[in-house]
Amino acid sequence: MIELIPAIDIIEGKCVRLSQGKYESKKVYHEDPLEVAKAFEAHGIRRLHVVDLDGAASHHIVNHHTLEVLAARTSLAIDFGGGLKSDDDLRIAFECGARMVTGGSIAVKAPDVFLGWLQAYGPDRIILGADVKDGRIAVSGWKEESACQLFPFLDNYVAKGITQVICTDIGRDGMLQGPSLELYKEILQRHSSLSLVASGGVSGIHDVEALAEAGLPAVIIGKAFYEGRITLEEIEAFILNH
């Protein structure tokens, strides 16, 4: 069964979405992320993907108070990312209620730090963020393209104990043009036991069905929900029927 994981992206404490990671494309969808989270919870969602976009731009955790409210006032398992660069950032995220954290740029720029987190907290709590643009890993809130090719990057971290990966195709993120199904199939062919979360491009519940058929363990839903392409009722029905 595929797990549906709604995304809440935070700028200045508000629920927003970007297109292809571009901050100038910001659109505010809700002033209160807690209301959004509670609506998801009421319709059967159990996990939430929260991204601190201010943190991603600032290179340190920023919206930890929003995280704390979401964790304290819902029962949702929150995976949190965006700007986590230091042991102190990680400590704050966990103290504020994150069940898991996602590291992307840190895994490229400071692999020793990221591997230290993996060793200290274990693979159940540390998720590798693989944000892909033209086959390469992008970093720093997708503003920079690294020299890291996707598959060697994944191979390396899986060999070192990573079991959870969120893979985002930047070119499709927020574009509502369908997910990178073939890319995800290729990843699972190489790493069949990986807990792979598809992210980017979902345009409707039919895309979720296609990912489920391809064997994806989980999918992040963002703009499709906020633009009304996927409703809370569809989410609830999908969960009940799968």
Is the Cα dihedral 37, 184, 102, 54 positive or negative? Answer: negative
CB 59 within 8 A of CB 103: no
What residues pair up with 149 in beta bridges, in sequence order? 136
32 is catalytic: no
Distance CA 35, CA 31 (A): 9
Largest CA distance in the chain: 44
Tokens found for residue 191: 């790493």
Catalytic residue list contains 9: yes
Label residue 210 exposed, middle or buried (CB < 10 Å: 0-12, 13-18, 19+): middle
Give burial (CB, 10 Å; 0-12/13-18/19+) of 61. Answer: buried
Catalytic residue among 54, 131, 169, 207: 131
Per DSSP, helices labelled H in the chain are 33-42, 53-58, 64-73, 87-95, 105-109, 111-121, 150-159, 181-190, 205-213, 223-226, 232-241
For the annotated catalytic residues, the residue numbers are: 9, 131
